[in-house]
Structure 1
């Protein structure tokens, strides 16, 4: 197994929703503390062992703990406490502390998204009102991701995921959501660049139109 087997890229909103997945910081701390110390000669093996243990005993929502910003091993992540194997895995005590800090940051980000989703929840009114709500939600969520990731390397991958989670929470099937988001963005988001407001608005309008056509 490799780190990619424990990447959160395939997780659905059901998999990570903090409302249905409790987090005991003390239990997670004890769990990581029982693992063999990291070996500088095989850093990836240690990260894999952490992700496997957390996934099995805490929940698969934890897979994002090592999804660092910018020059991370995955790229495009929202976690600042973790960088990459070479810079994050070293002296055992410091590595464990960094790991737990990254896990807590990842959890805080998921909870922050939950709060945003609650605020942006769609009305049960006419289709026009729902379309307007979609258009208002997209810029808010993209801005949140840009801020959290620093618009670094491949930040747009997580933006697409966050939009997908929001659509899933609002009842849009995952496959349909992914297709509509991909069509709406259309390659207009780029690494290391915060998107222009006009571009985000255009993406929001196109996504809202696609959702309307799909009966969402």
Structure 2
């Protein structure tokens, strides 16, 4: 979005936003009209605009400009530009992932041999590492990490159900909140990830 689009979007969002006087959980729910507006306007991807780092509205994400409803909501006119910037951060992350997926997917002409295992293992290692960095490995980061791994498998043409099973088997409680995984853990997860893919290809 260019600046003019951002300003226009903020202007459209402002009437949908609550004031800071709305208390507790009602404040969180009161952002639903804004989220629905963004999803209707841009598509489902926009629903991640408030997936903030650490313990926000939805913890474990990568958005840094938005903390949570109780801290980020002030007046509608001040809150709207924050939401726009949060949306831009989220969109930037998705675009970054798309580029990484394209770089990490094995070439279509690679046979199902040991090189295949290497490609998938390398992809998992790099994706886990970048998600841990971008989320600062804070509260609930591993949920988004698992989601990114599933997205990568889907991007690579693997069935959703198979992707879910591969990721759950590979990660399987090996990651935790507030802790970046060390090298042996990442290596073990990546090896299991590659092995799971190898079983279906």
TM surpasses 0.5 = yes
Q: How far 1:30 sits from its partner (Å)?
A: 2.1
- Given that 2:59 and 2:139 are in contact with CA atoms closer than 8 Å, whether structure 1 keeps it comes out as yes
Task: Tell me what 1:67 maps to.
Answer: 51
Q: Which of 167, 186, 190 does residue 200 from structure 1 map onto? A: 186
Q: Where does the alignment leave 5 or more consecutive residues of structure 2 unmatched?
A: none
Structure with higher Rg: it is 2
Moved more, 74-83 or 28-37: 28-37
- Given that 2:51 and 2:60 are in contact with CA atoms closer than 8 Å, whether structure 1 keeps it comes out as yes
Q: Which of 121, 131, 156 does residue 105 from structure 2 map onto? A: 121
Moved more, 39-48 or 71-80: 39-48
Task: Tell me what 1:176 maps to.
Answer: 162
User: Which 4+ stretches in 1 moved above 3 angstroms?
Assistant: 23-29
Count of residues in correspondence between the two structures: 193
Distance between the aligned counterparts of 2:169 and 2:106, measured in 1? 21
What is the TM-score with the length of structure 2 in the denominator? 0.90
Q: Which of 126, 130, 138 does residue 152 from structure 1 map onto? A: 138
Q: How far 1:179 sits from its partner (Å)?
A: 1.1
Q: Which of 20, 28, 33 does residue 49 from structure 1 map onto? A: 33
- Given that 2:60 and 2:142 are in contact with CA atoms closer than 8 Å, whether structure 1 keeps it comes out as yes
Q: How far 1:116 sits from its partner (Å)?
A: 1.0
- Given that 1:39 and 1:46 are in contact with CA atoms closer than 8 Å, whether structure 2 keeps it comes out as no
Q: How far 1:94 sits from its partner (Å)?
A: 2.2
Q: Which aligned pairs between 1:75-114 and structure 2 lie closer than 5 A?
A: 75-114=59-98
What is the TM-score with the length of structure 1 in the denominator? 0.84
Using a 3 Å threshold, how does the CA distance of structure 1 residues 139 and 114 change in structure 2: closer, same or farther? same
Using a 3 Å threshold, how does the CA distance of structure 1 residues 208 and 46 change in structure 2: closer, same or farther? same
Moved more, 199-208 or 38-47: 38-47
Task: Tell me what 2:19 maps to.
Answer: 39
Using a 3 Å threshold, how does the CA distance of structure 1 residues 28 and 58 change in structure 2: closer, same or farther? farther
Q: Secondary structure at the match of 1:147?
A: helix
- Given that 1:151 and 1:192 are in contact with CA atoms closer than 8 Å, whether structure 2 keeps it comes out as yes
| RMSD of aligned alpha carbons | 1.6
Moved more, 203-212 or 117-126: 117-126
Q: How far 1:28 sits from its partner (Å)?
A: 5.6
